[in-house]
């Protein structure tokens, strides 16, 4: 996929914001916190890929936040909270399917949302902020 096919940085950021809103939402009865953590991971991943596009780095088709950040690191520095978002990667797959997954509690969900929010806010500052790259 080329940068032209990747979607624009603002588009990626729009989708990241949408996933963040879903991740933050008060779940109705029957909604698993695991599903909301998936949206937290997706918000962070899409925001990072939006930054990658913004600075001219081709985002690979992967869901591993740590690998995405390692690709981006030579081009742009990021705060510790963004680095810590690598911990969201397992939610990309294991939280979407039943099996041997540990049930996620409210504290873990809130931590996932906080990490995703930090990444989206950082991406906004890079893509939209004054003196943006």
pLDDT, tens digit (0-9, with 9 covering 90-100), for 48-102: 999 999 999 999 999 999 999 999 999 999 999 999 999 999 999 876 677 766 7
Cα–Cα distance for residue pair 106/37, rounded to 1 Å: 10
**How much is the pLDDT for 94?**
75
**How much is the pLDDT for 53?**
96
pLDDT, tens digit (0-9, with 9 covering 90-100), for 28-50: 999 999 999 999 999 999 999 99
Domains located in the chain, CATH noted: 3-127 (1.20.120.330)
- Quickly tell me which residue has 């081709």 as its tokens: 58
> What mean pLDDT is predicted for residues 97-124?
91
Global pTM reads 0.91
């Amino acid at each position: 996929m080329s940068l032209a096919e990747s979607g624009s940085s603002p588009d990626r950021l729009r989708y990241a914001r949408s996933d963040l809103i879903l991740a933050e939402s008060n779940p109705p009865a029957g909604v698993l916190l695991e599903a909301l953590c998936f949206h937290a991971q997706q918000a962070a991943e899409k925001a990072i890929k939006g930054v990658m596009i913004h600075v001219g780095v081709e985002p690979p088709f992967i869901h591993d936040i740590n690998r995405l950040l390692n690709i981006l690191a030579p081009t742009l520095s990021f705060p510790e909270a963004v680095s810590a978002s690598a911990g969201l990667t397992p939610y990309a797959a294991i939280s979407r399917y039943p099996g041997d997954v540990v049930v996620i509690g409210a504290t873990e969900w809130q931590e996932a949302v906080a990490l995703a929010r930090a990444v989206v806010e950082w991406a906004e500052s890079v893509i939209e902020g004054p003196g943006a790259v």
